[in-house]
């Protein structure tokens, strides 16, 4: 079920009313209803994969209990290894099997062999990377002693399948979200209103920014880059940067705001990343739940930053694996490795993380960081590494052509909406979300709401699926 769909427009109020006014007689009853609603939400896409979600979740809950009851460290580690094998095995089967088979075939062909290796024709379960990582972090935290294993199957299954963030995050830690399923929740009107405001901004970013940029981006990336003006290629890459930001951060805003309607606080997933002044700051602000997951469960176990050489190796490894997490394509691996390489200058100069608030004096650093990110996005968006390389090459080679196209691109409505987005988020860059604080004047505040609602509704195209980019991951 998609957030920008008629089905969800009916689903959400019905679930909200039933949750607070019908199933509010006990915590376990509320959790059971949320579990049912979440399975309906996920099953709306393809009910056949509900069994996979259920088996994966139940398996990790039972493994968590086994880790908790194990008498010695070796037994605990064996149970943890089982969880790793099962969860990563699911990902390897559904997401990476053909990728690795194709890689093995290429190696054998290079040695003059003619291999006949099998491939799988299976549908990738939507959100499998997200809920697998969420469930896996639970068993790791139980193994580390950071969390007590739960014996409540309803609470745990609801934690893994919680519908606002089930298919595209934020990737929640059990230490943060699971306890919220284990304590009584009461309706808070102020939190609910704030949740609706955040959802409104999320819908604006998805429908007005991301979905309106998509046709322009598709046209540029599908064209013959060798005959396309460099300016057009540059704007195509920049527009994709805002398309994916509006798409993914828009989803996160809707998810976080929706969860707040039910009394839950999800983790912040985006913190205005395009105002970053360095790559390290960008990754503290972009897809925060995933970057911190890799930091805590990959980077730190590898040794973290104990030595400069070790830090360099571990950064590259972590980012390369992060790129592979996004998809079974060398473009994603290259995208991740490129971001790891961006870190090298910061490691060499032992740069310290900046925690102050960006100002207009930081504009050169922000623009430089943004362009580094845009270059990497070209690999993310392209169908192959070769195609991405050609795109970047002709963006430079053809830079002197089509200068007049600058005015045409700047005159597009999408450009003005992007500027509006940047202005609003710049004013709110120290807050949780863009609409957290609005003018106290009721008339002005409702005028802002009305403007956003009208503009967003205008951009709803019933012929378009409005599917989120990150659903493929």
The string of pLDDT tens digits covering residues 216-226 is 999 999 999 99
Residues 6+ apart with CB under 8 A from 227: none
For residue 304, the model assigns a pLDDT of 66
Q: Are residues 271 and 235 in the same domain?
A: yes
**Ranked by mean pLDDT, which of 93-102, 168-177, 259-268, 349-358 comes out on top?**
259-268
Instruction: Please report whether residue 291 resides in a domain.
Output: no
Domain boundary (163, 186, 209) is at: 186
Q: CA 39, 88, 340, 360: dihedral to nearest 10 degrees? A: 10
170 lies in a domain?
yes
**Candidate from 79-83, 105-109, 337-341, 423-427 with smallest mean pLDDT:** 105-109
Residue with tokens 């802002």: 448
Q: Are residues 16 and 151 in the same domain?
A: yes
The Cα-based distances of 206 to 15, 417, 459, 464 in angstroms read 23, 12, 10, 13
* pLDDT at position 318 over 80: yes
- What is the Cα–Cα distance from 173 to 288, expressed in whole angstroms? 12
Q: Does 166 reside within a domain?
A: yes
Q: 93 with 138, same domain?
A: yes
Query: Residues 147, 174: contact at Cβ < 8 Å?
Result: yes
What span, in angstroms and rounded, lies between the C-alpha atoms of 73 and 195? Answer: 43
**What b/e string do you get for 283-295 counting C-beta neighbours within 10 Å, with b at 16 or more?**
bbbbbbbbbbbbe
Dihedral angle of Cα 343, 133, 191, 243, to the nearest 10 degrees: 50
**pLDDT at position 93 over 80:** yes
Is residue 117 scored above 70 in pLDDT?
Answer: no
- In terms of residue numbers, what domain contains 91? 6-186
What's the mean pLDDT in 244-248? 95
Range 150-162 average pLDDT: 95
The domain boundary residue, chosen from 130, 162, 186: 186
CA dihedral 381, 385, 391, 396 (to 10 degrees): 120
Does the CA dihedral 361-363-368-369 come out positive or negative?
positive
Same domain, 135 and 271: no
Q: How confident is the model at residue 300 (pLDDT cuts 50, 70, 90)?
A: confident
Is the pLDDT reported for residue 120 higher than 70?
A: no
* Cα gap 426→135, rounded to integer Å: 35
pLDDT at 351: 62
For 399, the 3-state DSSP assignment is: coil
| Mean pLDDT, rounded, of the chain | 89
Closest CA to 11 of 190, 261, 192, 182: 261
In the predicted structure, residue 338 carries a pLDDT above the cut 90: yes
What's the pLDDT tens digit per position in 21-47? 999 888 999 999 999 999 999 998 888
Is the pLDDT confidence value at 71 over 90?
no
For residue 16, being part of any structural domain is answered with yes
pLDDT band at 440, cuts 50/70/90? confident
Q: How far apart are CA 391 and CA 221, in angstroms?
A: 8
Answer yes or no: are the C-beta atoms of 297 and 138 closer than 8 Å. Answer: no
Please, which pLDDT band fits residue 452 given cuts at 50, 70 and 90?
A: very high
In a domain, 335, yes or no: no
- pLDDT at position 63: 95
Write down the pLDDT at residue 374.
97
The first and second tokens of residue 417, run together, are 């909406």
Q: SS3 for 112? A: coil
How much is the pLDDT for 37?
96
For residue 321, which of 290, 280, 287, 353 has the smallest C-alpha distance? 290
pLDDT for the residue 92: 83
Q: Is residue 153 part of a domain?
A: yes
Q: Are residues 173 and 212 in the same domain?
A: no
pLDDT of 464 above 80: no
Which pairs count as long-range contacts for 31-40, CB under 8 Å and 24+ apart, including other chains?
31/154, 31/155, 31/158, 31/181, 32/154, 32/158, 34/158, 34/162, 34/163, 34/262, 35/154, 35/157, 35/158, 35/161, 37/11, 37/163, 38/158, 38/161, 38/162, 38/163, 38/166, 39/161, 40/11
414 and 462 fall within a common domain = yes
Lowest pLDDT segment from 3-12, 271-280, 398-407: 398-407
Of 119-133, 265-279, 304-318, highest mean pLDDT: 265-279
Q: Is residue 40 part of a domain?
A: yes
Give the end of a domain, one of 116, 151, 186.
Answer: 186
pLDDT at 358: 87
Q: Do 464 and 414 reside in the same domain of the chain?
A: yes
- Residue 111: pLDDT over 80: no
Do both 168 and 218 map to the same domain? no
Check whether residue 49 and residue 109 sit in a common domain: yes
- pLDDT at position 329: 87
Mean pLDDT value across residues 318-327:
90
Residue 214's φ and ψ, nearest 5 degrees, are: -55, -50
Using CA atoms, how far residue 232 sits from 377, 382, 384, 399, in Å, is 16, 16, 20, 9
* Percent above pLDDT 90 for the chain: 64
Q: Are residues 200 and 58 part of one domain?
A: no
Average pLDDT of the residues in 362-382 = 96
Across the range 254-264, mean pLDDT stands at 96
Regarding whether 382 and 246 lie in a shared domain, the answer is yes
Question: What does the pLDDT read at residue 233?
Answer: 94
User: Which residue in 176, 287, 326, 466 is the catalytic one?
Assistant: 326
- Is residue 278 helix, strand or coil? coil
DSSP codes, 217-254: HHHHHHS-GGGS-HHHHHHHHHHHHHHHHHHHHHHHHH
Q: Please answer whether residues 247 and 380 qualify as being in contact, where contact means their C-beta atoms are separated by less than 8 angstroms.
A: no
Report how far residue 3's alpha carbon sits from residue 19's, in angstroms, rounded to the nearest whole number.
Answer: 19
Count: domains in the chain: 2
**3-class SS of residue 30:** helix
In a domain, 464, yes or no: yes
Which of these ranges, 90-99, 123-132, 241-250, 389-398, has the smallest mean pLDDT?
A: 90-99
Of 44-58, 255-269, 348-362, which gets the smallest average pLDDT?
348-362
- 134 and 206 fall within a common domain: no
Q: Is residue 326 flagged as an active site residue?
A: yes
pLDDT given at position 368: 96
pLDDT the model gives residue 466: 67
């Amino acid at each position: 079920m998609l957030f920008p769909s008629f089905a969800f427009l009916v689903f959400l109020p019905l679930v909200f009313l039933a949750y607070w006014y019908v199933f509010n007689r006990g915590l376990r009853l509320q959790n059971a209803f949320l579990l049912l609603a979440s399975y309906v939400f996920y099953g709306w896409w393809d009910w056949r994969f509900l069994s996979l979600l259920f088996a994966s979740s139940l398996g990790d809950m039972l493994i968590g209990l086994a880790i908790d009851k194990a008498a010695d460290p070796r037994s605990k580690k064996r149970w943890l290894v089982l969880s790793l094998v099962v969860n990563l095995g699911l990902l390897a089967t559904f997401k990476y099997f053909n990728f690795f088979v194709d890689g093995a075939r290429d190696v054998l062909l290079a040695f003059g062999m003619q291999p006949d290796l099998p491939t799988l024709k299976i549908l990738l379960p939507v959100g499998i990377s997200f809920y697998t990582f969420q469930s896996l972090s639970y068993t790791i935290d139980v193994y580390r002693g950071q969390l007590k294993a739960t014996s409540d199957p309803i609470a745990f299954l609801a934690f893994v399948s919680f519908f606002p963030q089930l298919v595209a995050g934020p990737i929640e830690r059990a230490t943060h979200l699971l306890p919220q399923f284990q304590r009584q929740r009461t309706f808070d009107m102020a939190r609910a209103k704030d949740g609706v405001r955040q959802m409104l901004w999320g819908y604006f970013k998805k429908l007005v920014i991301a979905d309106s940029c998509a046709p322009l981006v598709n046209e540029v990336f599908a064209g013959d880059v060798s005959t396309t003006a460099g300016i057009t290629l540059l704007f195509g890459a920049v527009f994709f940067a805002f398309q994916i930001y509006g798409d993914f951060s828009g989803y996160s805003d809707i998810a976080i705001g929706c969860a707040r309607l039910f009394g839950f606080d999800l983790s912040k997933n985006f913190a205005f990343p395009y105002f970053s002044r360095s790559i390290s700051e960008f990754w503290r602000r972009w897809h925060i739940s995933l970057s911190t997951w890799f930091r805590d469960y990959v980077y730190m176990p590898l040794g973290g930053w104990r030595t400069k050489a070790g830090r360099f190796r571990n950064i590259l490894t972590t980012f390369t694996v992060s790129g592979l997490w996004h998809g079974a394509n060398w473009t994603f691996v290259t995208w991740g490795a490129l971001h790891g390489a961006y870190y090298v200058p910061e490691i060499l100069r032992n740069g310290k993380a900046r925690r102050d608030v960006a100002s207009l004096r930081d504009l050169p650093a922000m623009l430089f960081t943004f362009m580094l990110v845009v270059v990497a996005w070209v690999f993310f968006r392209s169908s192959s590494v070769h195609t991405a390389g050609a795109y970047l090459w002709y963006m430079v080679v053809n830079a002197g052509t089509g200068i007049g196209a600058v005015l045409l691109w700047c005159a597009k409505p999408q450009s003005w909406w992007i500027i509006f987005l940047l202005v609003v988020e710049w004013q709110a860059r120290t807050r949780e979300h863009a609409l957290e604080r609005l003018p106290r004047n009721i008339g002005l505040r409702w005028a802002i709401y009305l403007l956003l609602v009208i503009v967003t509704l205008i951009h709803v195209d019933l012929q378009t699926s409005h599917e989120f980019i990150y659903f493929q991951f």
